Amino acid sequence: MENKRTAHLAAIFLMIVWSLSYLSIKVIVVEVEPTLAAFYRFLIASLILFFIHKHKYPNEKILKEDKLKMMLSGLFGVSLYFFFENYSVKFTSAANVAILIATIPIFTLPVQKIIFNEKIGLFKIIGATFSVVGIIIIIISKERVSLFSKGSIGDFMAFACVISWIVYNVITSKFKGNYKSITVTTYQVIWGTIFLSPAFLVGIIKKTVNIPSSKVILNILFLAILCSFLGYLIYIYCLKKLGATTITTYINLQPIISIVAAKIILNESITIWQVMGCIIIILGVSLVSLSDGFTGIMFKK
């Protein structure tokens, strides 16, 4: 019972940390180009993971058949996902991005049906419908809707995050080898960092790479260490202690925490329509997550 209580507290702490990540990105991209910001974050995380993995599991190797999957999962699950996430936060509100990315379980449903032939029950259909309605409310709630406005571009990039993560899930659904979770994550993060590295080279050529302010450096360290590295360890711990359904339900807290934090810390405006859309999306995702057989867990941060 004590272990369960600790795991619940750890899950709540993790959701707070991950919810604040959108705000950190918002602060960072004011000074640092979004792709370069992602590169800094995952360079630090990959170095930490690499040394820990080499120390604890020096003999675990990746099979030849899985090397391409590791590379592609790093491309879609790290480099492309965080490329789109960082730019989406730059163009639209941090709260909007958190809400829209929370729909990943919904858009995973048709992929599970087409590729894995998973049955879609009534609760999943109702949940998906609720979430789509919530998304429509958020997008059309703006005073002036334009497909080419920065806000709309940011929303579309948030959806690109969703697509990137769904592709990542498909790629990593089955490996030939039986690897420890930290092994898979280490290789994926390293590949993602490699794919993000051209941003650093371009920055050097254009002479746009500068030492950011201490505030930005602290936020990058927060993302790399707390959100990416420690976040992964806490997530695996909670997954083992609480199970997939419970941790998925906790993930639904992220949009709520992000909206409140964005208002308090960044003074982002919050509309009643945005709150309504958020509530409807969370209700929809909860119906999907709590229905039978759903295991599409999102390890985002």
Contacts of residue 73, defined as CB under 8 A and 6 or more positions apart, other chains included, come to 168, 171, 172, 188, 191
Mean pLDDT score of the chain: 81
| Residue pLDDT, tens place only, 35-91 | 999 999 999 999 999 999 888 888 888 888 889 999 999 999 899 999 999 999 888
Question: Per the domain annotation, does 80 fall within a domain?
Answer: yes
| Residue pLDDT, tens place only, 228-257 | 888 877 877 787 777 655 666 677 777 788
Question: Per the domain annotation, does 97 fall within a domain?
Answer: yes
CA neighbor of 200 nearest in space, from 6, 30, 34: 34
Question: Per the domain annotation, does 281 fall within a domain?
Answer: yes
Residue 151 or residue 87, greater confidence: 87
Say if CB 283 and CB 130 are below 8 A apart: yes
Say if CB 104 and CB 295 are below 8 A apart: no
b/e code 183-194 from CB counts within 10 Å (16+ = b): bbbbbbbbbbbb
Question: Per the domain annotation, does 300 fall within a domain?
Answer: no
CA distance 229 to 33: 22
CA distance 141 to 88: 18
Q: Which domain holds residue 119?
A: 2-290
Question: Per the domain annotation, does 295 fall within a domain?
Answer: no
CA distance 236 to 233: 5
Number of folded domains that form the chain: 1
Q: Can you give the pLDDT at residue 198? A: 93
Question: Per the domain annotation, does 122 fall within a domain?
Answer: yes
Does the reported pTM lie above 0.85? no
